[in-house]
Amino acid sequence: MDQLLMNVMNEDESPPGVQRDSLIGFHVRLGHLAYDTIELIAKNSDSGIEITDRTRSNCAVCAQGKQTRARQPKKDSGEHAPIHQVGAVICSDLKGPMTPLDRLGNRYLVNFVDHKSNYCQVFLAKKKDEAAKKFRDFLVQFEKEFGCSVHILRTDGGGEYRNVNLFCKDNGIARQVSEVNNQAANGKAERMHRTVLNMVRCMIFGSGLPLSFWSDAAEYATYILNRSPTRGNEGKKSPLEVLTGRQPRLSDIVVFGSKCTAFRDPGKRSMAQRAQMAHVIGRDASTKGFKVYIPSEHKVIVTRHVQNLESLKGGEVDLCTTETVVPAAPDRESPSPDEASSVEAET
């Protein structure tokens, strides 16, 4: 009441055609216009308003009518991560169900990304609730190989990660769960899925292999990404260079689906065939061997004994298999929308 009376008195003392009020008062008068905008208006002597009190306060009405989500950084640079050391924060996301099933019947793809180095590893799953087991497998391998200690696991609020909470508690690992409908909070893992699947589609369409080989392509894509310069790392270092201090060699990278001959032990048979026709579908980091698919036997083996590597050309794949062979896509910069939807998650 006192403030209202003061405003009336101030208005009575104002020059003709000039309104005097506090900044908050003008804020309400002018449809909750921003304070800075009101002050800019008042600087113009012809505006007809004069601010008597420049005190600012949060407006509850503005909060109800205007509030939005907190602005997210365009790049998940790690600057605001709780811990900055390599391997301390692991982000994870589950993608699926994928269509079609892969050649082993898997329908889900689970990734784990080191926040600092952008190192990524993917795991395959037939069911959503396997995510907890996949994290245990990743943790053992990652900490042992790189001498890191994982302190935080960051995921979305999906039910597939509920079973991992007890494991994290028993192992002293903190959990960070992003809000529902706020995917940017776990953006690093989700963007990694997008990057990997973009590569998968190109690799599958370019090789002419059946779509059921998408999981092999995904594993090979992460193998390549971990050894490639990464814009999110200082100096564009590769994830493995950040983790080990050594620049990885890329000379062992061959085209996905490349034809090759894989050595076959003839045993005591002098005239037995010494090699089998195969297709390269990945690398095995632990053995440094090639993962190859042998069409005549419908199986995949890991071997270092391969020769005659060559890039596949469209339409030259002879898989000797009952699976439907997808013709290689014609040369172009990116797959068509219809093709792109063939290797993707339904949700």
User: Which of the two residues, 105 and 289, has the higher pLDDT score?
Assistant: 105
**pLDDT, tens digit, for every residue of 38-57?**
787 788 676 677 899 999 98
| Lookup: tokens for 334 | 């990116």
Structurally, the chain folds into a number of domains equal to 3
Determine the Cα–Cα distance for residues 143 and 172; give it in Å rounded to an integer: 14
132 and 193 in a single domain? The answer is: yes
Residue 283 is assigned to a structural domain of this protein: yes
User: Which of the two residues, 70 and 54, has the higher pLDDT score?
Assistant: 54
31 and 57 in a single domain? The answer is: yes
pTM, rounded to two decimals: 0.68
Alpha helices, H only, the chain = 2-13, 23-29, 35-42, 60-66, 131-146, 164-170, 187-207, 214-225, 239-244, 337-340
Determine the Cα–Cα distance for residues 108 and 345; give it in Å rounded to an integer: 8
Q: How many residues does the chain have?
A: 347
User: Which of the two residues, 283 and 80, has the higher pLDDT score?
Assistant: 283
93 and 230 in a single domain? The answer is: yes
pLDDT computed for residue 178 by the predictor = 80
pLDDT band at 345 (very low <50, low <70, confident <90, very high): low
314 has a pLDDT exceeding 90: no
Instruction: Tell me what the mean pLDDT of segment 187-191 comes to.
Output: 90
**pLDDT, tens digit, for every residue of 255-298?**
899 898 888 766 666 655 677 889 999 998 788 889 999 998 88
Domain interval for residue 56: 2-66
185 and 211 in a single domain? The answer is: yes
Residue 73 is assigned to a structural domain of this protein: no
pLDDT computed for residue 9 by the predictor = 47
Residues 6+ apart with CB under 8 A from 33: 26, 27
pLDDT computed for residue 222 by the predictor = 94
Residue 160 is assigned to a structural domain of this protein: yes
pLDDT above 90 covers what percent of the chain?
37
pLDDT computed for residue 27 by the predictor = 73
CA atoms within 13 A on the CB side of 112: 24
Determine the Cα–Cα distance for residues 204 and 281; give it in Å rounded to an integer: 10
Alpha helices, H only, 227-304 = 239-244
pLDDT computed for residue 69 by the predictor = 59
97 and 236 in a single domain? The answer is: yes
pLDDT computed for residue 335 by the predictor = 40
